Structure 1
Amino acid sequence: MTRKPNLLAGAALSAAVALTGATGAEAKIKLKVSHYLPAVHGIHTDFIVPWTEQVTACTDGEVEFEIFPAGSQLGNVARQQEQVMAGVVDIAHGLHGIPRGRFPRTSLIDMPFLTDDAGAASYALWSLYPEYLSEEYRGLKVLALHAHNGGLLHTANKKVETIEDMDGLRIRTPSPAVSEMLSFLGADPQGLPPGEVYESLQRGVIDGTVFPWDPVKSFGLNEVLNYHLDLGAYTVSFFYVMNQRSYDRLSDTAQACIDKYSGADLVAKFGDWWDQWDAPARQEAVDAGHEIITLSDAQRARWEETLQPMMASYLQSVEDAGVDNAEDIYKAMQDKIREYEAAH
């Protein structure tokens, strides 16, 4: 009987290790890195490209990288986790909430009004990873966990100022927690990859979206939006992970270089990075004459108070789904965020 080749193993091998030359010191390793954002986004230009260059320089050229952003064959947001688990790519950057349900512990950082600060959320995630979150990353070498700044509610044709204005609006959602928030506020959450939001807004399939400022510019959304409610009610988290087998195949030197440019020092950069990425998109909206609505402290308190039952219900649903310490993780996230805010 003729044995069929193991295609998955072959893909993993070719994706993880490309050898040129002979052996030993002449061996070159090419690693595939995928993410789902446009090549003009700061994740690509300020984070992933410089990171790969630093690692290549550190290894004196032993390790090189091929990057696959949005629009490439490996740039699908819904496939980042499965691609890196299978070894189709060696390293992936993706959203914890897409597809939903794969990272229920980590995604508790998306809970409403937990924080609107990328630095605080990223610090909390990385601090809690070893004790509370690590079981969600079996088979993966976690290089960084991070989050974006507080998201806004962006709409095309309807100005939103109050909770009542949310009623019936079809709003694109990035994660289960945000979906629950939108539903509780009377909106109709629509699960869409970021790359499909522009056309959906243009065609009137959705009325708006929740995003921080930076993807509004990266995906050209200011062309199809007119109103921006500075809600700051949620954040969304991301993973930057490596297939553990790909990591284990590297030399001690290459592993040390990857470790050097990953972890706490990398995570600490996302707060400042996100502030830089948000600013141009907001200015673009101002220059276009859009209306940016800011909530007073009293108005924000009303939104938060309204969402308290939803938050309790969501935590219970996560526990019912098998995360028996969801309440403990949520409290630990609150504590770490307060710890970060006290130091900054």
Structure 2
Amino acid sequence: MKALKTLGRALAAAAFLAAASAGAQTTVLRFSDLFPAAYPFGALSAQFAKDVKERTGGKVEVQVFPSGTLTPPPQCYEGVLQGLSDICQAVLAYTPGRFPVMESVDLPGYPNSGRLTTRVANDVYQKFQPRELDAVKVLYLHAHPPGSLMTVNKPVKTLDDLKGMKMRSTGLSARIVTALGGSPVSMPITQAYDPLKRGVLDGTDGTFNALKYYRFAEVTKYTTMATDVGYVSTFAVVMNKAKWNALPADVRTALDAVSREYMVKAGDLWDQIEREGLAFGREKGHEFIRLDPKELERWRAAVIEPLHTDYVKRVSGSGLPGEEIVKAKRESIKRHSAAFPALEVPVK
């Protein structure tokens, strides 16, 4: 009889543990990331996955697929909608016209700070809650700091210098290059190293971190610091809405909290790797060119207001409050500029 009681207690304990295990079943989320694992933002995505697992007590495991291996970057957002991935890190500009409110964030006119651009992206999203992102759960947004122009052999100090130069650029940045008198060449930044090295390209646009992480300091001699008119790209880490709604409430709360932290981490990381790119450029003897103030005003006049005016006209024609969106964006820049000043950049 005593043996039977002991066996009964053991069976009851096993049944309890099995029930507890079933109740704590792990949800696996597939994260389609455009960044390579070795790039700092690829490492940040991997850390995000670890923190989600820890903060949800193991209830959620995020599997990161780097370098667009699960869904190609231009199809990343659509892949989340279709359930090909559960989470993705999307470049909103890769699908022109799909995100008209958030497109305003990418327009030029920023101090050189990724912490600032990231705050502006989130401010615009929070203020307007654009319907264009209603189909997904937005976890967090970030935006890289404004880009500059890197050239192979010819220093660019005036608009006349840039005229006709073949510059790798895409999307909005190609429109900026055109407005400045250059000749845009559409090419992914990941493919630009060899054409720069062989002289097929005269230069490329890019943020300072590209000097190190895309090794552009090895194949270019000059950077014209054109951040006043530089393009910005907004990134959205988004989740399939049905998958989000299926998570328990405590898990959703934890995931929201982690995501808020990673918005801050992403902005900080942009500025960190910009400093690394600048240091790498200096080590390689790269020259940084600061435009004469009068010349800079010529560049600003050619780019900033024309692009904003065009934006307001286009989105207002589709029923969106274009002027209000631009005003809110500019107010956000002004509000955050003191807390997140432009990076210090050496002249040489």
* TM-score interval, normalised by the smaller of the two chains: 0.7 to 0.9
Label 1:133 to 1:121 Cα distance change in 2 as closer, same or farther (>3 A).
Answer: farther
Rounded to whole Å, the distance in 1 between the matches of 2:221 and 2:55 is 46
Cα distance in structure 1, aligned partners of 2:185 and 2:317: 22
Using the alignment, how far apart are the partners of 1:287 and 1:114 within structure 2? Answer: 27
Give 1:246 shift: 1.5
SS at 2:37's partner residue? coil
- Mean Cα deviation higher: 313-322 or 89-98: 313-322
Task: Return the alpha-carbon distance in structure 1 between the equivalents of residues 98 and 269 of structure 2.
Answer: 27
Matched residues in 2 for 1:247 and 1:34: separation? 16
d(CA) in 2 for partners of 1:75 and 1:207?
32
Give the percent of matched residue pairs that are identical in Structure 1 and Structure 2.
Answer: 27
Q: What SS does structure 1 have at the residue aligned with 2:175? A: helix
Considering only aligned residues, what root-mean-square deviation do their CA atoms show, in Å?
Answer: 2.3
Cα distance in 1, alignment partners of residues 328 and 138 from structure 2: 20
Offset of 1:332 from its aligned partner?
0.5
Deviations 1:189-211 (A, max 9, x none): 23332322223434444322211
Structure 2 unmatched ranges of 5 or more: 1-17, 341-348
Following TM superposition, by how much is the alpha carbon of 1:340 offset from its aligned partner in structure 2, in angstroms? 1.1
Match of 1:48 in 2: 45
CA contact (8 A) 1:37 1:75 kept: no
Is residue 276 of structure 2 the alignment partner of residue 280 of structure 1? yes
- Structure 1 residue 257: deviation in Å? 1.5
What amino acid is the match of 1:331?
Answer: K
Q: Which runs of 5+ in 1 are unaligned?
A: 1-20
Structure of greater Rg: 2
Aligned partner (choices 49, 59, 63) of residue 62 of structure 1: 59
1:157 maps to what in 2? 153
For residue 186 of structure 1, the aligned residue among 181, 184, 192 is: 181
CA–CA distance in structure 1, aligned partners of residues 317 and 265 of structure 2? 33
1:29 is aligned to 27
Matching residue within 76, 84, 90 for 2:86 = 90
Contact map agreement 1:227 1:292 (CA 8 A) in 2 = yes
SS in 2 for 1:328: helix
- Write the deviation string for residues 31-81 of structure 1: whole angstroms up to 9, x where unpaired: 111222222222122x212211111001221211211111x5226322221
Q: Which amino acid aligns with 1:212?
A: T
Aligned match of 1:175 in 168, 171, 178? 171
Give the aligned residue type for 1:199.
D
Partner of 2:119: 123
Classify 1:62/1:77 alpha carbon distance in 2 versus 1 (closer, same or farther; 3 Å). Answer: same
Shift of 1:320: 6.1
Letter of the 2:47 counterpart: P
Deviation, 1:97, is 1.1
Residue correspondence of structure 1 range 282-297 to structure 2 within 5 A: 282-297=278-293
Distance 1:208 1:74, change over 3 A: farther
Contact 1:201 1:208 in 2 (8 A): yes
How far 1:312 moved relative to its partner? 4.5
> How far apart are the structure 1 equivalents of 2:70 and 2:220?
29
Q: Is the 8 A contact 1:181 1:310 kept in 2?
A: no
Aligned to 2:192: 197
Q: Aligned in 2, Cα 1:332/1:26: closer, same or farther, shift over 3 Å?
A: closer
- Any conservation in 2 of the 1:38–1:218 contact (CA below 8 Å)? no
Structure 1 counterpart of 2:209, from 210, 214, 221: 214
CA distance in 2: counterparts of 1:151 and 1:60, whole angstroms:
40
Contact kept, 8 Å, 1:127 with 1:336, in 2: the verdict is yes
**Normalising to structure 1: TM-score of the pair?**
0.85
- 2:336 is matched with 340
Distance in 2 (alpha carbons) for counterparts of 1:128 and 1:312? 15
Paired with 1:86 and 1:283, the residues of 2 have a C-alpha distance of 42
Measured after TM superposition, the shift of residue 90 of structure 1 is 1.0
Query: How far is the alpha carbon of 1:147 from its aligned partner?
Result: 1.0
CA contact (8 A) 2:169 2:205 kept: yes
Kept after mapping to 2: 8 A contact 1:69/1:75: no
Letter of the 1:239 counterpart = A
CA distance in 2, matches of 1:314, 1:331: 14
**Maintained 8 Å contact 1:170/1:187:** yes
